[in-house]
Structure 1
Amino acid sequence: MDHENHNHEKDHENHDHDSHKNHNGDHDGHSHHEHHKQMVQDFKFRFWWVLTLTVPIMALSPMIQEFLGVDWRFTADKWILAALSTVVYFFGGWPFLTGLADELKKKQPGMMTLIGLAISIAYLYSTAVVFGFEGDLLYWELSTLVGIMLLGHWIEMRSVMSASSALEELAELLPGEAHRVKEDGSTEDVPVDELQQGDKVLIKPGEKIPADGKVVKGESSVNEAMLTGESKPVDKADGDEVIGGSVNEKGSLTIEISKTGDDSFLSQVMNLVEEAQESKSRTQDLANRAAFWLTIVAITAGLITFGAWIFFTGQSFDFAMNRTVAVMVITCPHALGLAIPLVVSRSTSIAATNGFLIRDRAAFEQARNLDAVIFDKTGTLTEGTFTVTDILNFGDDFSDDEILKYAASLEKNSEHPLARGILEKAKDTWEPDEFNSITGKGIEGKVNGKSVKVVSPGYIRENEMDYPEEEVEEISSQGKTVVFVII
């Protein structure tokens, strides 16, 4: 009798079976995603219009012409400039004006208040100048500020939308229908929405489990990689818990539904994703606090500027107002509205690309201070496929290559992820004469006239077979999966 130890590195083996969207979780995720998509399109649409109008506004602005050393003035140019800027102010600046109103209503002035105040002062002051008030036109400052802020919010909403797509992907893990078992033992196909606690459901090989529950009949292995990150299928038998959205691989299972709707594991994960999207990082909170103080500074600096020019220098009202507006508009930093969204967008994109599920943006931001990371399973760190890395031969009757050939020949009829790794390692195989699955333990059959078993350590322990435990334990302690080949 020869025992061969195959060692496989492991990661996610994704199974793509039927995907449907007619269940509750998907409706919530879909509407959430659609809301973000509409906001992205809204900011994008407003930005491109404002950018288009900014070109003639800049060209018609006397201050910009003076800076460039040109003179493009003509009759009624101020009125055209005012008309274009009015569109920019009300159409492009509308999200910031409504945001200003909301923040003031909540008595929490922040970024929207700062932006809304700056563009309102620039617009109202410049319009007064058009109607005869002595001063400089600041419409160009209005249009550039609105354009940059729209761009920043567009970028931020795009990152939020890409994160919200994770909700749709999670929702699609659930099947659309389930095989509910009737009292007479027959089954009926019903929408997952109609399943209730206590219902019994039949899950056939290759199907997704429709809801959380407990196995009441049958044995099989279940792929939970998409939910738990554990790449190796988990053996399930009578009394074991199963998670909705995981994939049943081999045998048929009958489960009793224990959790549905918001109580299910998948719904709780989706809630965590949604909370993460709505949470703000420390940097974003810092930006909002900075915006609050900048608003106070802008108003205070404006009042001080106005008072200083009027009472201490004896300048005219027009002169003092001109300087006051300039100070208050300049206080609103363009970069603040763009820098934070760019950081959020880039970090979210990198995290999503690498498969990170971010529960709390503030915690994610603090990750830059980490010195060490402890992982609870090897599947999180490995490559995504099983492969043979070590062969321990406990006998002299067969060579390593022969043992591998026997194992691969038997695994040809298996759909287990481990089988793929063994088949890829073997150079050639025989056709098996017999094949049988030992549920939850491995497979057996006849290959090249010999009885062959490919089994788990659990089978060896149950049958009290002897093997060099120290050698096997050394391999297993490295996080490698061990199987035995018995010939």
Structure 2
Amino acid sequence: MSESHNNSNHKSHKENNHPSHHESHEQKGYDSHGDHEGYDSHGGHGGHGSHGGHEGHDHGDMIIEFRNKFFIILVVTIPIMLLSPMIQSFMGVDWRFSGDLYIVAVLSTFVYFYGGWPFLKGAVDELKAKEPGMMTLIGTAISIAFFYSIAVVFGFNGEQIFWELATLVLIMLLGHWIEMRSINNASKALESLASLMPNTANRIKEDSDEIEEVKIDEIQAGDLLLVKPGEKMPLDGTIVKGTSQVDESMLTGESVPTEKTVDDEVIGGSINREGSLTIKVEKLMDESYLNQVIEMVKESQETKSKTQDITNRAAKWLFYIALAAGIITFIIWVSIGADINTAIQRTVTVMVITCPHALGLAAPLVVAVSTTLSAKHGLLIRNRPQFEQARNIDAVIFDKTGTLTEGKFGVTDIQSYSDMKEEEVLSYAATIENDSEHPIASGIINEASERNLSLHELTDFNSITGVGIEGTINDKNVKVVSPGYITKQGFNFDDENFNKWSEQGKTVIFLIVDDELKGAIALADQVKESSKETIAALHKRNIKAIMLTGDHQKVANYVAKEIGIDEVYAEVLPDQKAEKVEEIQQRGLVVAMTGDGINDAPALTKADVGIAVGAGTDIAMDSADIVLVDSNPKDILAIFSLSKRTFNKLVQNLIWATGYNIFAIPLAAGVLAPWGIILSPAVGAILMSLSTIIVAINAQLLHRFEME
């Protein structure tokens, strides 16, 4: 192609209604370097990022750790339950024997220190940070149950509740295991980015044409590199020799290869499709475009809100309530003249009644059900807090290519300038383009195939550098060329439709047979059928629809008008995408971002909710909070519906898990003692277990929810 492909001619290109066939391809690809947004890893798991004791571990190792601990504690819990005097009394059996409580004490000690270790360490970490939460509540509960029961074994007047300790640890391990399996927060975003870069490059030695293979870190700025067809660009640079089509889709999400020639810039990680290129290295890895994206992703990950989720906040307040209630209970009983044993029993009962069996399962069970539901409907939830936030979305920012559109060219219009019928114009063009791998060619060939048109016999196929291709059909010279060629050769034609197509940002190619202009074909990235329905449904919910794309303003405006987009930001460079998201957020809007390309990663991460389409790049999906498996924008509506219903169900469970304390804590403290109603620690533990059953049943009712 010509020098018009470099960035300096971008303005002149936009002002010219007759861009060349390949120029329009090139400009679209070049300006679309930023047509997507990104990722969020959220260390920790979901809202439990503050679960101390977890932060230094790999997420996958933590899942295995909790799984293994759960099954081991399950085995140990069985004999603890069977040897418990209270459980035996409920079962109507008597399996007591000399020294049985010492065996239970030994087993419970193992449960406390082995099974409870993650929670005990987490509690210490939370208290050090002065942010008590779920771990502190669990650690407090199991410690009270353990040390009180040990005291009973060694003579303290009361009933041991080792079974309460074992079941609490068991349920907490199960809850955390369920939660971690349900939400895959282990980010592979940065690894996906790094894997795009080749490890070696072919460097041209100074003062010779010899080629040497060197490692990337040995390359210096100014080195000349040879990039053969099919190879990746080792680093950012400028072409000094050669012409080729460069596939930047893995970086930009744009499906159209970019025509590159001398003085054009290339991005490390993009793929050279056709001719050999000699590039001069301009930026080393630390300064490269890809590294900038990596840094933006890192920054977005680190600045993402660290706010604790609703479950952890509930645990925090429940801890304070339990602590205050326990202290007040002890003081009151001592002040009214009760013996120390009675005061301690009342205090322990109060603390046990607040043991978070149900609270520990309230969120994980709902998450497990909603995750299963969402997966069945093509939604993969990666980050729970952001998924819960989806119910509050005010605006959805859409990437254009691959999200609202198919990401591939299709024929939209055909015009004949002679007695040749439209089908014949298409048939001739498809025959010429049949040997080309260009997306424009694919669009023409697919249209001919859908119309069941027969192709002709082609001979003497040849590429016309920079303007198109030609060949011989039925002894006639046939050319498929760009508008630039038509203008240069001085062809006169009815350009009313051409001007309209150009204003819509469509790509136009012309058919010439024996130097006579026969027809024109317009192509464009096809809008997904579901896009218009999605935007209409968003408007019914009073949610703004915004387009953020690196594509041309004309193309973006055309697509926006077709489907009803409210705001359009076009020709946005990669490093500007996350900034645009922040600008929109600064207007007070809660923002969801959808995209499928690598440079969508920082913006996806910066958004309140990042949504990746499943047909996109790995980095976009790793950067998102939610992935649309079917790449259907209409699935966004299901996200909002399920998010709202899941949050409501979560709140219901938290009410069941904690609300009973309003009644149970006063009873445990002994307010009805004057009337002979006193709850023992064992009975308090049983009441606590009942709320766990209610929470489990309520979570399962979410299965009855029908997706929108």
TM-score class normalised by the smaller sequence: 0.7 to 0.9
Change (3 A) 1:140 1:357: closer
Q: 1:230 aligns to what SS in structure 2?
A: coil
For residues 184 and 303 of structure 2, the distance between their equivalents in structure 1, rounded to whole angstroms, comes to 14
- Equivalent pair of 2:203/2:225 in contact (CA under 8 Å): yes
Aligned with 1:188 (options 212, 220, 228): 212
- Equivalent pair of 2:193/2:290 in contact (CA under 8 Å): yes
For residues 488 and 99 of structure 2, the distance between their equivalents in structure 1, rounded to whole angstroms, comes to 95
Query: 1:27-426 residue pairs with structure 2 within 5 A?
Result: 35-68=58-91, 70-158=93-181, 163-183=186-206, 184-273=208-297, 284-312=308-336, 314-340=337-363, 366-383=389-406, 385-388=408-411, 390-426=412-448
Q: 2:187 aligns to what SS in structure 1?
A: helix
Greater shift, 257-266 or 342-351, is seen at 342-351
Deviation at 1:216, TM superposition (A): 3.0
Greater shift, 271-280 or 79-88, is seen at 271-280
Deviation at 1:233, TM superposition (A): 1.8
- Equivalent pair of 1:283/1:340 in contact (CA under 8 Å): no
For residues 182 and 484 of structure 2, the distance between their equivalents in structure 1, rounded to whole angstroms, comes to 47
For residues 95 and 506 of structure 2, the distance between their equivalents in structure 1, rounded to whole angstroms, comes to 76
Q: Percent identity among equivalent residues?
A: 57
Q: 2:406 aligns to what SS in structure 1?
A: coil
Change (3 A) 1:423 1:38: same
**Structure 2 residues not aligned, in runs of 5+:** 1-20, 30-54, 514-708
What is residue 448 of structure 1 aligned with on the other side? 474
For residues 296 and 396 of structure 1, the distance between their equivalents in structure 2, rounded to whole angstroms, comes to 85
- Equivalent pair of 1:435/1:444 in contact (CA under 8 Å): yes
Q: 1:238 aligns to what SS in structure 2?
A: coil
What is residue 27 of structure 1 aligned with on the other side? none
Greater shift, 436-445 or 196-205, is seen at 436-445
For residues 148 and 53 of structure 1, the distance between their equivalents in structure 2, rounded to whole angstroms, comes to 13
Deviation at 1:205, TM superposition (A): 1.8
Change (3 A) 1:437 1:307: farther
Q: 1:147 aligns to what SS in structure 2?
A: helix
1:170-212 CA-to-partner distances (Å, cap 9, x unmatched) read 3322223222222123322222333333333222222222223
2:493 paired with 1:471: no
Change (3 A) 1:146 1:33: closer
Aligned-partner residue type, residue 434 of structure 2: K
For residues 133 and 385 of structure 2, the distance between their equivalents in structure 1, rounded to whole angstroms, comes to 19
For residues 347 and 79 of structure 2, the distance between their equivalents in structure 1, rounded to whole angstroms, comes to 26
- Equivalent pair of 1:180/1:187 in contact (CA under 8 Å): yes
Q: 2:165 aligns to what SS in structure 1?
A: helix
What is residue 24 of structure 1 aligned with on the other side? none
Q: 1:189 aligns to what SS in structure 2?
A: strand
Aligned-partner residue type, residue 345 of structure 2: N
1:87-130 CA-to-partner distances (Å, cap 9, x unmatched) read 22211221222222223333333332222222222222222222
What is residue 29 of structure 1 aligned with on the other side? none
1:58-105 CA-to-partner distances (Å, cap 9, x unmatched) read 333334444555554444332332222222221122122222222333
Deviation at 1:303, TM superposition (A): 0.6
Change (3 A) 1:306 1:151: same
Deviation at 1:159, TM superposition (A): 6.2
What is residue 21 of structure 1 aligned with on the other side? none
- Equivalent pair of 1:205/1:250 in contact (CA under 8 Å): yes
TM-score scaled by length of structure 2 = 0.56
- Equivalent pair of 1:33/1:164 in contact (CA under 8 Å): no
For residues 146 and 465 of structure 2, the distance between their equivalents in structure 1, rounded to whole angstroms, comes to 75
Change (3 A) 1:305 1:265: farther
For residues 226 and 366 of structure 2, the distance between their equivalents in structure 1, rounded to whole angstroms, comes to 48
Change (3 A) 1:383 1:233: same
Q: 2:74 aligns to what SS in structure 1?
A: helix
- Equivalent pair of 1:433/1:448 in contact (CA under 8 Å): no
1:442-473 CA-to-partner distances (Å, cap 9, x unmatched) read 43333332333334455555656555554345
- Equivalent pair of 2:409/2:439 in contact (CA under 8 Å): yes
What is residue 22 of structure 1 aligned with on the other side? none
- Equivalent pair of 1:97/1:116 in contact (CA under 8 Å): yes
1:226-277 CA-to-partner distances (Å, cap 9, x unmatched) read 2222222223233333222222222222223333334333334344555666
For residues 53 and 86 of structure 1, the distance between their equivalents in structure 2, rounded to whole angstroms, comes to 11
For residues 440 and 134 of structure 2, the distance between their equivalents in structure 1, rounded to whole angstroms, comes to 55
- Equivalent pair of 1:156/1:341 in contact (CA under 8 Å): yes
Q: 1:98 aligns to what SS in structure 2?
A: helix
1:292-347 CA-to-partner distances (Å, cap 9, x unmatched) read 333222211111122223323x4332333223223223334344444556777867
For residues 96 and 397 of structure 1, the distance between their equivalents in structure 2, rounded to whole angstroms, comes to 82
- Equivalent pair of 1:452/1:485 in contact (CA under 8 Å): yes
The CA RMSD measured in Å over matched residues stands at 3.9
Change (3 A) 1:433 1:311: same
Aligned-partner residue type, residue 269 of structure 2: G
For residues 144 and 205 of structure 2, the distance between their equivalents in structure 1, rounded to whole angstroms, comes to 71
Greater shift, 360-369 or 421-430, is seen at 360-369
Change (3 A) 1:468 1:366: farther
- Equivalent pair of 1:457/1:482 in contact (CA under 8 Å): yes
- Equivalent pair of 1:408/1:423 in contact (CA under 8 Å): yes
For residues 413 and 333 of structure 1, the distance between their equivalents in structure 2, rounded to whole angstroms, comes to 68
Greater shift, 409-418 or 366-375, is seen at 366-375
Q: 1:383 aligns to what SS in structure 2?
A: strand
Aligned-partner residue type, residue 214 of structure 1: T
Aligned with 2:458 (options 425, 428, 432): 432
- Equivalent pair of 2:228/2:277 in contact (CA under 8 Å): yes
- Equivalent pair of 1:220/1:439 in contact (CA under 8 Å): no
Change (3 A) 1:421 1:339: farther
For residues 67 and 296 of structure 1, the distance between their equivalents in structure 2, rounded to whole angstroms, comes to 33
- Equivalent pair of 1:273/1:357 in contact (CA under 8 Å): no
For residues 458 and 155 of structure 1, the distance between their equivalents in structure 2, rounded to whole angstroms, comes to 61
What is residue 566 of structure 2 aligned with on the other side? none
